[in-house]
Amino acid sequence: MTFCTHSSSPRLLRGVLLAGLALPVMAQGSTQIKTDNSSIKFGFLFQPQYESVGSPTKDGDSQNFFLRRTRFLIGGTLGSDFEYFFETESANMGKSAADGSKTAATMVVQDAVITWKANDAFKVDTGLILIPFAHNSNQSAASLLSWDYFSYSFSQNAAFATNVGRDLGVQFRGLIAKQFEYRLGAFQGKRAAEQTATATPPNGLVQSRNAMRIAGRLQYNVFDAETGMFYAGSYAGSKKILSFGVGYDKQDDYTGTAYDVFFDWPLANKDVVTCQVNHVQYDGGTWISLPKQSGTSAEAGYRFSALKFSPIVRWEKKTFDVHTATNLDETRIGGGLAFWLKGNNANVKIFYNQIKPENVVVGTALTKQHSYNQLNVQLQYFIF
């Protein structure tokens, strides 16, 4: 087990926390313009972060100050039946790579969605959309309970070359009888390469001839419904939530499945109990480079409303179907504190995790990876 013991680390952490508490708190409103039949509003998400993280194969701890997320948001309505949402992203700005170089400030389009709404039971989204899958992977990054998403919510992302679970396509969603929510869409996914002509028929094949990626999600809300395009990691006492969800993601012989339970309950003293469990399974088959695996993640927190802070614990487990020197099962155990200075508009989160790879014999050799630690201190400023 390794952990950063450099004498400057405690001073750095104290400096990060004090700087966050000293900065002015953002207002909870948003900049909005309305006309007779349309509206537009603007916002941003800003997450400065300090991280100290070890390695399963090397000694020492990497330390970084960086911007975990920098986003600019635009949303609004056109009449009573059209909505739109657009968001940019510059992720991990300034974080160092293995060669010491730092991630450049490059903005990308994160979300670009137009929604037509017939009623609450039938909506159509088109554009760059978050794939309907697990509850955690459909949450807003601005309203997470802890400092980031579960470790395995987007394991398929790199293989599909998509941006944090988004894909281009069309999605149908709605709420039936105020309790059943459905999301079903067809998306770009991975496109097949062209094949050149051969001496015998067929006379070559065009690119992108394969079927679209199909993904869907069903959720049953026992009490209050989650009605937005993005779920929240906690509703801070504004709703009584107990939901059960399943998700499915399919293209060619790749499959992904998700099962989740989400509980977010306000108490009489305005405190809030939040618990969430997500279980995901992936099998890339021959279509994408993703070994067959499963991941289970759970977190729980208690929000002391009067004190504006939450102790939070998290446990995660990843299991591979076939082990190799790099594909090892792992367990992550951690916890931390969230200080809700102004709820999701301004907060400070301090989290520690221990990651333990489970060494196994691969062939005739024993893998040699060791446990390591991760410490994150994150500030968040959000307005929309």
pLDDT value of residue 18: 45
Structural domain boundaries, residue 142? 9-26+38-97+106-192+208-383
Q: What is the CATH number of the domain that holds 161?
A: 2.40.160.10
The number of beta carbons lying within 10 Å of the beta carbon of residue 384 is 21
257 within a domain of the structure (yes/no): yes
pLDDT value of residue 179: 94
375 within a domain of the structure (yes/no): yes
69 within a domain of the structure (yes/no): yes
DSSP 48-99: EEEEEE--SSSSS-EEEEEEEEEEEEEEEEETTTEEEEEEEEEEEET-B-TT
201 within a domain of the structure (yes/no): no
In the chain, what percentage of residues exceed pLDDT 90?
79
2 within a domain of the structure (yes/no): no
202 within a domain of the structure (yes/no): no
199 within a domain of the structure (yes/no): no
What are the residue ranges in the chain where pLDDT is below 70? Answer: 1-30, 199-202
pLDDT value of residue 19: 42
3 within a domain of the structure (yes/no): no
In the chain, the number of structural domains is 1
CA distances from 346 to 209, 232, 338 (A): 47, 16, 11
Q: Taking the complete model, does pTM exceed 0.75, yes or no?
A: yes
pLDDT value of residue 205: 87
pLDDT value of residue 105: 85
Amino acid occupying residue 296:
T
pLDDT value of residue 199: 66
* Tens digits of residue pLDDT in 218-271: 999 999 999 999 999 999 999 999 999 999 999 999 999 999 999 999 999 999
